[in-house]
Structures are given as C-alpha cells and as structure tokens.
Amino acid sequence: MRILVMGHKGMLGSDLVETFGRDHEVSGIDRDEFDITSAGDCLRVVEEFNPDAIVNAAAYTDVDGCETNRDACFAVNAEGVLNIASACRGRNTKIVHYSTDYVFDGTKGRPYVEEDPCRPINLYGESKRRGEEALLETAENHVLIRTAWLYGRQGKNFVKAILAKAKEEGKLRVVDDQVGSPTYSLDLAQATKLLVERDSRGIYHVTNRGVCSWYQFALRIVEYAQLSGVTVEPIKSHEINRKAMRPAYSVLSNRKFMEATRKAMRPWQVALNEYLTGQSHIHR
C-alpha cells in the first residue's frame, strides 16, 4: 500500500514511518512541507501523493497550551481534520486519525468503550472531539483510534521528564489521583498497521494493557531505569497549578481492538521496561 504519514517528525509519526515502512511504500510530511490548517495545502498533498491511506499523527498536543491558544489548537485539531477529510472525498482514501482519552470526563469508574458519550473537560479534549466529529461526518473510509498517555523515542514525554528530574533533583512529586494506561508509541504504531492491513473501519480504543496513576507510572520509570536514591512522593492534582483540568479516570477498553485483530496489547510495564532498556535509541 501507499501510505502517507502526516506529522512524521512527531513522537508517534516517526514510529509509524518505521513500522509501516517494513511492508509498505511510505512517505512522510510535516509542518515544514504543509500546514494542516490550510485546506489548499491538504488538497495539494492528497493530489500529489495520491495515497491508499493517510495516517494523520499531526496535532496540537500541548494540553495546557490549548487553554491559552484556543484558536491555534482548534485550527489544527478540528479544522485540520476536516481539511484532510474534505480533500479525500470521492477518492476512497482511508484516513487513520488519532484521538484521546481526554474526550471523556473521567467519571465513569470503569473502562470507557467506543460508544460512551464524550464530555471533554479541557480545551484540548474539546478540540480533539471536534476533530473526531469532522472525521466521522466527512470521511467515507476512516479509522479513529483513541489512545492515551503516549511516550516514545522522539519528542518530549512524561517518561523523559521523570528521568531528567530524577537525575537532576533526586526528588519527585507526582499526582496519584489521575488513573490511565501508559502507551508506547511503537506499540500503537504496530496496532495501527494491523488495523489498516485488515481494512478495519470505525472507532477503536488502543492503549497498552493495565492501569496505573501517574505516581505509580513514575515509580516504575525510576525502578526500571535503575535510578537509586530517588524519592517519589504522591500528591493530589490540586497541589500543582496546571491550566487544563484532567479526567480522574480515563482508562480505555481495548476489547473491540482485541476482537477485531485477535491480538492483545502488551502490559504497560513490559512495554516501558523494553523502552527504558533500549534507552540508547531514545532521541531528545
């Protein structure tokens, strides 16, 4: 298949290029070659590459930044998706797009399934939900993958932030009242490839398996990285001043993905351990 990865320089995008590149003809584009907020750019790119599938990992991903840069965040996460879907109309190009656990309000107390109502509690979640709606209404052939708590080899992420702070200060304070599923972007890229190859359509929740708080996640990072003498203190969300609210419980059920592909995602601890022991591959 001819695959076009949008946002190929990002954390997930770089893993998508590597993963799809093993069996398919892959091209990647990023902000230096097109602006997803421009309908004209999106049309030009679709006509130029004429791919069988677009995998869109381009997004505005700074959750707190969205609260102060509302227009930029909605332009990329909502209008950008509409631009791609509109550019592909009538071509039967498959569009794979990513959304987030933050489209949910975090009050369910049990894993969210694909049909659960969305009630975002921050602007990032709202913009991603608007992007979902644009995709579902406009794209004829789409896969919408909701994921959560991503970390990977490229770009900034929670794992790298914890490693840096542990090494510099030896002391960490991490929230213990937000629960979710850490997900390795390479695992998500492989899951995406599976869904595309079996011509899946519709919404899928895909994360690594298992559940933890950010505090429990940080404990494992310190343990697997074999950093001794580091203390990790659990705190409550209200003790840190963040612009965006976060859902308290945003675990996503992977059941539909497992039934469709007959594959289970790895437990988050296994993926994290592999990521950290292959640390020489982590690019800043």
Q: Which residues are known to be catalytic?
A: 124
- What tokens were used for 151? 């970390």
Judged by CB under 6 A, the residue of 93, 100, 192, 200 near ligand NAP is 100
Pick 7 or 106: Cβ nearer ligand NAP: 7
Q: Which residue is nearest to ligand NAP (CB)?
A: 10
Taking residues 133 to 172 in sequence order and writing x for each that binds ligand NAP by CB under 6 A, - otherwise, the string is: --------------xxxx----x-----------------
Pick 97 or 266: Cβ nearer ligand NAP: 97
Q: Which residues contact 237 (CB under 8 A, 6 or more apart)?
A: 175, 177, 178, 246, 248
- Other beta carbons within 10 angstroms of residue 154's beta carbon come to 17
Within 43-62, the residues that bind ligand NAP by CB under 6 A are 57-61
Supply φ then ψ for residue 90, to 5 degrees. Answer: 80, 0
Residue 270 to residue 258: CA distance in whole angstroms: 18
Query: What is the SS3 assignment for 204?
Result: strand
- Other beta carbons within 10 angstroms of residue 116's beta carbon come to 16
Judged by CB under 6 A, the residue of 76, 96, 135, 191 near ligand NAP is 76
Judged by CB under 6 A, the residue of 4, 7, 159, 191 near ligand NAP is 7
Supply angle C-alpha 190, 191, 196, rounded to 5. 95
Stretch that binds ligand NAP, among 29-37, 85-93, 167-175, 259-267 (CB under 6 A): 29-37
- What tokens were used for 157? 């992420």
Pick 129 or 230: Cβ nearer ligand NAP: 129
Q: Which residues bind ligand NAP (CB under 6 A)?
A: 7, 9-13, 30-31, 34-37, 57-61, 76, 98, 100, 128, 147-150, 155
